[in-house]
Amino acid sequence: MEIAGKEKDRSIFNNIHAVMLLIDPDTADIIDANSAALEFYGYSLETITGMKITDINILTKEQVYNEMSMAKTEQRMYFVFRHRLANGDIRDVEIYSGPVVFEGREVLFSIIHDISKRMQAEEALKQSEERLSRICDATFEGIAISDRGVVIDANEQLAKMLGYSRSEIIGESISNYIAPESLDIVQRRIKENYENAYEIVILKKDGSRIYTEVRGREISYQGRQVRETVIRDITERKQAEELIQKERNKFQKYLDISAVMVVMIDKNQNVILINKKGCEILGYREEEVMGKNWFDYFLPEVLRDEVKRVFNKLISGEVEPVEYYENEVLTKKGELKMIAWYNTVFRNEQGDITQTVASGADITERKQAEREREQLIHELKDALAKVKTLSGLIPICSSCQKIRDDKGYWELVADYMSKHSDAQFSHGICPECAKRLYPQYYKEVDPIS
């Protein structure tokens, strides 16, 4: 390529906004600079053309000459250097440089771009990634970065968790570390871009299995969209949960052979445990009761508000627990059954009530028997009271022999006695009355004859 020294060409050279220099590759002299170069470096044309490129490039002279030699022979045409400006500032620049003919001799034509901001951004990004990497390696959670299912980065904790080195993990399909029964849910969660935590089983290098809780999300990483997955080992927690569940099942068996109903209610009024007897009394299956609000579903409406109010006061510590009480429950069929409850409470480390446990006996039949007994006693008392009135002073007319009752009415002796005793009467006529009332028919009979 040849660059002429004509005025027209000089005008074009000057008016191009990119920074341009013409450099002698043998002496490192700056032969020419356009207006953009003068503005960028802060020198006049006279000053800069009296300088060498080694005065601007912060590399050693030997390094600069080596780089110019590569540009001259076209072994390289792209360079990244650091240049010093007239005010002392150092700028990162990228340079496209190659040989051209200028006024009959071969020089280097260099186009220079200031990439200081880009380099600063890249350095900041690099530092950020290094800081993130240190943080990731310091965390107790495993972290994997994957692109289309292939691991492109991972922290040391994940390698330790799986029993591999980082180099063994990177480049492998992430599915290699997932147990077969968990593959389907992982694929669905990735497809849905699901970001909440869920549980899966992963495989270690030695073939053993560990329970994990994972969270994944799409992130920008090194200029591309990838998936970040955070993995936490919850094996110990799961083992503890399984042990608790075994103990709970054992406890549930004991509860189920109990002759009374047992109900556990959390502080939000929801049922978290009920035994077999409780289900029998209420007429529900266990799954129909669990998680339901005890007061809304299993108490008659007339009691709900008041019992809820007392329960909330109990949870807040405003009232002391009541060991024994009786109240009705509402069955699935809409029947009311009276239950005698014995209560206790569970508290957390702070002493706050978190759950209540009540054992209840169905006393509906007993209560009915008590009501029937009380009714019978009442009726007997009434009967006895009436019998006693016959043994007291009874007002009777000296003329007609009628009796005055408690209300002041006069009635025949037979009628009064019938009402106030179990006596029954048959009617006849005595001899005196027969002689007096029916003399024409009466014939005195000798009782001896």
What is the mean pLDDT of the segment spanning 24-37? 93
Architecture of domain 2-114: 2-Layer Sandwich (3.30)
Q: How far apart are CA 153 and CA 170, in angstroms?
A: 6
Edge-to-edge strands of the sheet including 150-154?
A: 150-154, 142-147, 224-233, 209-221, 198-203
Instruction: Give the CATH number of domain 256-364.
Output: 3.30.450.20
Does 164 have pLDDT greater than 70? yes
Q: List all residues 6 or more positions away from 196 whose beta carbon is below 8 Å from its beta carbon.
A: 215
Does 447 have pLDDT greater than 50? no
What is the mean pLDDT of the segment spanning 31-41? 93
Nearest one of 173, 122, 168, 170 to 148, comparing CA atoms? 173
The region, left, alpha or beta by phi > 0 then psi within -120 to 50, assigned to residue 103 is: left
Positions of CATH 3.30.450.20 in the chain: 2-114, 122-237, 256-364
What is the mean pLDDT of the segment spanning 322-332? 90
* b/e sequence 26-53, b meaning 16+ C-beta within 10 Å: eebbbebbbebbbebbebeeeebeeeeb
Does 445 have pLDDT greater than 50? no
Q: What does DSSP assign to residue 149?
A: T
Number of helical (H) and strand (E) elements in the chain, helices listed first: 16, 18
What is the mean pLDDT of the segment spanning 138-151? 85
Instruction: Give, in degrees to the nearest 5, the angle at Cα 376 between 372 and 378.
Output: 115
Does 79 have pLDDT greater than 90? yes
Mean per-residue pLDDT of the chain: 85
Nearest one of 13, 89, 60 to 22, comparing CA atoms? 13
Burial of 344 (0-12, 13-18, 19+ CB in 10 A): exposed
Q: Which of the given ranges, 65-79, 130-144, 432-446, has the highest pLDDT on average?
A: 65-79
Q: Kindly report, residue by residue over 255-273, the tens digit of the pLDDT.
A: 776 778 889 999 999 999 8
The region, left, alpha or beta by phi > 0 then psi within -120 to 50, assigned to residue 401 is: left
Asked whether the beta carbons of 81 and 108 are under 8 A apart, the reply is no
Percent of the chain with pLDDT over 70: 89
Does 385 have pLDDT greater than 80? no
Give, to the nearest 10 degrees, the angle between helix 364-390 and helix 413-420.
Answer: 150
Q: Kindly report, residue by residue over 309-326, the tens digit of the pLDDT.
A: 999 988 888 888 888 889
Architecture of domain 122-237: 2-Layer Sandwich (3.30)
- In this prediction, residue 80 has a pLDDT band, given cuts at 50, 70 and 90, of very high
Report which of residues 424 and 179 the model is more confident about. Answer: 179
